[in-house]
Amino acid sequence: MSTPPYRGRFAPSPTGPLHPGSLLAALGSWLLARHAGGQWLVRVEDVDPPRTVAGAIDQQLATLAAMGLASDGPVVHQSRRDGLYQRALDRLLATGQAFACHCSRRDLATQHGIHHHCVARSERAQPAIRLRVPPGSTVAFEDGLRGRIAQDVHAEVGDFVLRRADGFWAYQLAVVVDDGQQRITDVVRGADLLDSTPRQILLQRALGLPTPAYLHLPLLLDANGRKLSKSEAAHPLDPSQPLPALRQAWADLGQDRACLLGATGPAALLARARAHFDPSRLPRQDIAPCPSPG
Ligand code: GLU
């Protein structure tokens, strides 16, 4: 069987402006795709309207364009893909792999929030739909940077939500259906999602989809050691100043700053970055900010 051509992606949620941590994931996934001679796609993960910030989608896409990072195909918006998600859910319901669940967060509090069987004290107007995760569902995969990762999804996560009780699609379902439908071969993203990968692999198996290769990049931390987060609107990128941001992301990816000297625009800088990128230099540890002087 021949290996399918490399297809990577960057999939931001529009919860605020892109920040240096998002650029790290965007540039890292772009460089790895180019290094493999592959394609790189942008997907807008706007399935969570309560967390979507007005204007953030356009702002994020404009910032990526200013950085010279352009999708190799049409930008996909998850909010326009209900039919795909519904068909996947219907298949899982029809085979008994998914089930309706009326449990609330409060009902599950006595079980540490983990669902192993329904304990609902009342019916909801609209139940959530969960994937059944039987005992023995341990999933292991080889992360491109961190090596072998294993999780007992039954014990640590339990039956997880595919469609929420408020009717919105869960991230786990949308991301798996889209990675499958877009024939993504390589998922490169921040290490905050490491914990989600075993769930996504289980769901791929349930839907008969191939499992891509995974590589989780280190996170940029704030001064308190927490992940920089878009929703806190921390340090948004300035699209009018792409070069310093790209240079910083390049250095945070463990690459040699000197390789980019002299580039006067994003296209020239990215061409150099692509030529000099060395995946073996990618850091394995999260990145703390430099202490401020004084
Ligand atoms: N939408 C997610 C985020 O912005 C990323 C999902 C993914 O790369 O799988 O954190």
Query: What does the alpha-carbon distance between residue 281 and residue 290 come to, in Å, rounded to a whole number?
Result: 19
Contact 189 CB / ligand 1 (< 6 Å): yes
Pocket test for ligand 1, best of 42, 46, 171, 229 (most atoms within 8 A of CB): 171
Q: Which residues contact 155 (CB under 8 A, 6 or more apart)?
A: none
∠ CA 100-184-283 to the nearest 5 degrees? Answer: 105
Q: Ligand 1 center to residue 152 CA distance, Å?
A: 22
We find that the CATH architecture of domain 82-172 is Alpha-Beta Complex (3.90)
Q: Tokens 């993504």 identify what position?
A: 184
Closest to 18 measured CA to CA, from 77, 83, 63: 63
The single-letter code of the amino acid at 143 is D
Output the pLDDT for position 216: 98
Q: Can you tell me which atom of ligand 1 is nearest the CA of 230?
A: 4
| Ligand 1 contacts CB of residue 186 (under 6 A) | no
Which runs of E-coded beta strand occur in 158-260?
160-163, 186-190, 213-217
Q: Name which of 2, 42, 18 is nearest 184 in CA terms.
A: 42
Ligand 1 nearest-atom number relative to CA 175: 9
According to the model, what pLDDT value does residue 232 have?
58
Instruction: Check if CATH label 3.40.50.620 holds for domain 7-80+218-281.
Output: yes
Nearest atom of ligand 1 to the alpha carbon of 192: 10
- Of 181, 284, 217, the closest CA to residue 21 belongs to 217
C-alpha 12 – ligand 1 centre gap (Å): 5
Tokens representing 92? 């899982």
Q: Which atom of ligand 1 is nearest to the CA of 9?
A: 8
22 C-beta closer than 6 A to ligand 1: no
Pocket test for ligand 1, best of 193, 199, 214 (most atoms within 8 A of CB): 193
**Does ligand 1 come within 6 angstroms of the Cβ of 45?**
yes
CB-based contact 215:32 (threshold 8 Å): yes
Q: Is the CB of 175 under 6 A from ligand 1?
A: yes
CA–CA distance, 19 with 127 (Å, rounded to integer)? 36
Rounded distance between C-alpha atoms, residue 251 and residue 256, angstroms: 6
Q: Which atom of ligand 1 is nearest to the CA of 200?
A: 9
Distance 113 CA to ligand 1 centre (A): 23
Nearest to 44 by CA among 72, 69, 19, 81: 81
Q: Locate the domains of the chain by residue range.
A: 7-80+218-281, 82-172
- DSSP label at 260? G
Give the span between the Cα atoms of 156 and 160, in whole angstroms: 11
pTM: 0.95
12 lines ligand 1 (CB under 6 A): yes
Using the mean position of ligand 1's atoms as its centre, give its distance from the Cα of residue 292 in Å: 30
Whether 11 lines ligand 1, by a CB cut-off of 6 Å, is yes
Rounded to 5 degrees, what are φ and ψ at 25?
-70, -40
Per-residue model confidence as pLDDT tens for the chain (294 residues): 678 899 999 999 999 999 999 999 999 999 999 999 999 999 999 999 999 999 999 999 999 999 999 999 999 999 999 999 999 999 999 999 999 999 999 999 989 999 999 999 899 989 999 999 999 999 999 999 999 999 999 999 999 999 999 999 999 999 999 999 999 999 999 999 999 999 999 999 999 999 999 999 999 887 777 777 655 556 799 999 999 999 999 999 999 999 999 999 999 999 999 999 999 999 998 888 765 554
- Helix 20-35 to helix 266-276 angle, to the nearest 10 degrees? 60
